[in-house]
Amino acid sequence: MKTKVEVVLRNIGQLLTMDSGDDGLGDEGKDPIAGLGLTLDAALAMGGGKVLWSGKESELENQLDFKGAEIVDVGGRVVMPGLVDCHTHSVFAGSRAQEFSRRVGGASYEEILAAGGGIHSTVNATRAAGIEILVATAKTRLDRFLSFGVTTVEIKSGYGLELGTELKMLKAAQEVDRIHPVDVIPTLLAAHVIPKEYKKDRNSYIGLITKEILPRVAQDGLARFCDVFCDQGAFTIEESRLILQEGKKHGLVPRIHGEQLSRSGSVALAVELDASSIDHLENASEQDARLLASSNTVAVLLPGATYFLGKKDFADGRTLADAGCKVAVSTDFNPGSSHTENLPLMMNMACLYNHLYPREALLSTTKWAADALRMGDSIGTLRPGAKADVLVLDLRDYRTFIYHFGVNHTHKVYKNGALVYTRQIA
């Protein structure tokens, strides 16, 4: 039986499906990317939680039986897929606001750590917190993500660094997924850093991950991905390979935080293990870009982290994109190095500092971010059959979305075809 049309958005000034070839507006300069799927004067039909049809509004009546459907006039606005944030650390307890003042005052990371700050303060607070607090704070964060048009958020564990708290974090992510319209995709990041109590015996901690944490997380179905921070001061290539291979045996897809603080060779490891993504890449080389381009691994850029750490070594997104890599952009939302849920702002930074073109940046938080989560079939585009996760912007020209930066352009958000967020500018 054909799915019944439940909602039709009409009077769409510019519809971006992120699916297929594109006309563009003809003035993109060197912006080389096609594929925004731009249609002017368009309509979009949803039903059963999915996109059923989109095209020119003039063709709507011939193409579709939409008797009984709710017809929504979007007033000539821009409509695009709900955004996908493919790399966040949105479950944690405590605040590091005072650490920000110290950082601005010139304190080094080591000094902050010695004063009880840094990641270890988040680990202590998260270990001490009840699951209700973790769920409540994560829910508020998802409300903010949704307000910026984000409909899918990946969330990593990694502030437990022990079995009980890693499980507690992933259960909090599962619970917030259940109670919030935004979809949460969970990732195990037990290999975030070596916890203090294992500093002199790192192999025992790696054994704890591979022999206890990973099997239990897989058995309880609490994560889809296994992530490792493969960098100076974190985990070596050999340790990362061991953990990610063990994760694979348990059905968890590998991902890597790599090439952030130093050049570690983690791009080659990501490709070797068919990781879904390698994230950060501030120190990636041209050779890395060529290697990534020949693989299924998505390059995820996190300009907010470079910015918020007050650094200047932004990842070279231009070289990655020119080599043919799929380049995604994410907030890396976390309490220490990137404290924002504003994904559209990251697109602006990606253009100015990672040197992506605006149209590449639009794909980087939709189609390619979905690919980084191996979910390109269901989210990140508005092709027929995709989830009806739809963002209506309070704009008549999609190019303004990235250009007018630091503010919220969301007008409405639909999740699985249902209206879940409305915002009216007074």
The residue among 57 and 332 lying less far from Zn ion, judged by its C-beta, is: 332
Angle, helices 163-179 vs 118-128, to 10°: value is 70
Q: Helix (H, G, I), strand (E, B), or coil: what is residue 389?
A: coil
Cα–Cα distance between 2 and 75 in angstroms, integer? 29
Closest CB to Zn ion among residues 50, 96: 96
State both tokens at 344.
Answer: 């559209």
Q: For residues 88 and 370, is the Cβ–Cβ distance under 8 A?
A: no
Chain mean position to CA 418: 22
* Minimum CB distance to Zn ion, residue 332 (Å): 5
| 52 or 169: CB nearest Zn ion | 169
CB 46 within 8 A of CB 414: yes
Q: How far is the CB of 156 from Zn ion (least distance, A)?
A: 7
Would you say 79 or 300 has its CB closer to Zn ion?
300
Site size for Zn ion (CB under 5 A): 1
Reduce the DSSP state of residue 293 to 3 states and report it. Answer: helix
Q: How does DSSP classify residue 135? A: H
Nearer to Zn ion, 9 or 301 (CB): 301
The whole-angstrom distance between residue 294's C-alpha and the CA centroid of its chain comes to 22
Closest CA to 403 of 345, 354, 363: 345
Closer Cβ to Zn ion, 17 or 330, answer by number: 330
297 DSSP assignment: P
Distance CA 274, CA 272 (A): 6
Rounded to the nearest whole angstrom, what is the least distance from the CB of residue 277 to Zn ion in the complex? Answer: 11
- Point out which span in 70-78, 211-219, 282-290, 328-336 binds Zn ion (CB under 5 A): 328-336
Q: How far is the CB of 258 from Zn ion (least distance, A)?
A: 11
What 3-state DSSP class applies to 393? strand
We find the least distance from the C-beta atom of residue 257 to Zn ion, in angstroms, to be 5
Residues 1-40 that bind Zn ion (CB under 5 A): none
Q: Which is nearer to Zn ion, 332 or 341 (CB)?
A: 332
Q: How far is the CB of 395 from Zn ion (least distance, A)?
A: 30
310, two tokens? 């007050």
Q: Which of residues 368-397 bind Zn ion (CB under 5 A)?
A: none
Of residues 81 and 186, the one with the C-beta less far from Zn ion: 186
Q: Is 53 helix (H, G, I), strand (E, B) or coil?
A: strand
Task: Return the range that interacts with Zn ion (CB under 5 A); candidates 213-221, 310-318, 326-334, 339-347.
Answer: 326-334
Quote the least distance from Cβ 211 to Zn ion, whole Å.
Answer: 25
**Minimum gap (Å) between residue 177 Cβ and Zn ion:** 19
Binding piece for Zn ion, criterion CB under 5 A, among 14-22, 129-137, 293-301, 329-337: 329-337
Strands 327-329 and 298-301: what pairing?
parallel
CA dihedral in degrees (60, 381, 73, 141; nearest 10)?
Answer: 160
The nearer residue to Zn ion, 166 or 332, going by C-beta atoms, is 332
Closer residue to Zn ion in complex, CB, 50/87: 87
Within 330-369, the residues that bind Zn ion by CB under 5 A are: 332
The answer to whether residue 162 forms part of the interface with Zn ion (CB under 5 A) is no
The minimum distance between CB 244 and Zn ion, in angstroms, equals: 16
Coil, strand, or helix at residue 136? helix
Stretch that binds Zn ion, among 26-34, 324-332, 359-367, 404-412 (CB under 5 A): 324-332
For 276, residues 6+ apart whose C-beta sits below 8 A from its C-beta are 225, 253, 254, 255, 296, 297, 298, 371, 372, 373, 374
Residue listed under structure tokens 């007074």: 426
Q: How far is the CB of 140 from Zn ion (least distance, A)?
A: 20
Instruction: Report which residue's Cβ sits closest to Zn ion.
Output: 332
- What residues between 294 and 313 interact with Zn ion by CB under 5 A? none
Q: How far is the CB of 89 from Zn ion (least distance, A)?
A: 6
Nearer to Zn ion by Cβ, of 88 and 151: the residue is 88
- Pairwise CA distance, residues 335 & 121, whole Å: 10
CA 77 to each of CA 128, 301, 376, 424: distance values in angstroms, whole numbers, following the listed order: 46, 29, 25, 13
Q: Is 157 helix (H, G, I), strand (E, B) or coil?
A: coil
Binding residues for Zn ion, rule: CB under 5 A, are 332
